[in-house]
Amino acid sequence: MKKIAILTGATGGLGREFLKQILDEEIDEVWAIARNERRLSELCGQYGERVIPISIDLSERQGMERISDMLGEKKPQVAYLINNAGLAKMGKYHDFSIEEIDKTINVNCKAPVMLARICIPYMAKGSRILNISSASAFQPNPYINLYAASKAFERSYSRALNVELEGTGITSVAVCPGWIDTELLQKEINGEKVRFPGLVTADRVVRQAIKDAKKGKDMSVCSLYVKCEHVNVKLLPQRWVMKIWMAGIGKYLKEN
């Protein structure tokens, strides 16, 4: 029986780092999931035949059915499920189309839950579920409110699932990084160079996440900055936290 890892959002900066490090584990194959076929092909060229490219749109149910069918046909042991795919956009509530709202909720919330349900029957003692949430899950964040709310959902679901899995040897961890230094990070907004407090590398986030998953933790926080942020939002009223957030992002917002 092959041992596999299933990785969504495989072609992004954090996804590629997860792919690189998970290949160092005792894994026969990594099912790399993303929409862009060309970038998936590049991953295969870089990392070899252990990478199985799967081009699907996680916002559509057909994509889930394809993964379910593949598991049913091949019957591997899923050693890792890494729900890394996610959509994020900064803007006011009216900047989001109905389609964008629907897609964001489907990818950020529905997809991780559905994939966990599909994959858990193929897991065994020592299998790990890593749901990539965010430090934005700790508090409401205006102007990224949809993203932050979806990540709060993912964090809550992951930690509760970890309790439900007690006794199985399978663990579920919510990975909650702050700003990650990848090429996808928007360096400038409306002519203003963006400052990212507590910026960390993708390598550091992934190493900590895998380490914490192996320890059976239900949440992974990789930097002192984010740990302090987590404590602060527990101590301060949320309306203060939102004012602090707004003071930090105010100069990047468009005048409406």
If you average pLDDT over residues 102-131, what whole number do you get? 97
DSSP structure class, residue 139: S
- Single out the residue of 93, 84, 162 nearest to residue 127, CA to CA: 162
Name the pLDDT band for 250 (thresholds 50, 70, 90).
Answer: confident
What are the catalytic residues?
133, 147, 151
Report the chain's terminal Cα–Cα distance, integer Å: 58
Name the pLDDT band for 252 (thresholds 50, 70, 90).
Answer: low
217: Cβ contacts below 8 Å, ≥ 6 apart:
171, 173
Element (H, E) at 219: strand 219-220
Would you say 226 and 198 are in contact if contact means Cβ atoms under 8 Å apart?
yes
Q: What pLDDT digit, counting tens, does each position of 187-199 carry?
A: 666 666 777 788 8
d(CA 207, CA 247): 32
- Single out the residue of 11, 94, 84 nearest to residue 54, CA to CA: 11
Can you give the pLDDT at residue 256? 42
* pLDDT of 253 strictly over 80: no
- Single out the residue of 10, 3, 15 nearest to residue 80, CA to CA: 3
- Where do the domains of the chain lie, and which CATH numbers do they carry? 3-252 (3.40.50.720)
Can you give the pLDDT at residue 117? 98
Would you say 48 and 29 are in contact if contact means Cβ atoms under 8 Å apart?
no
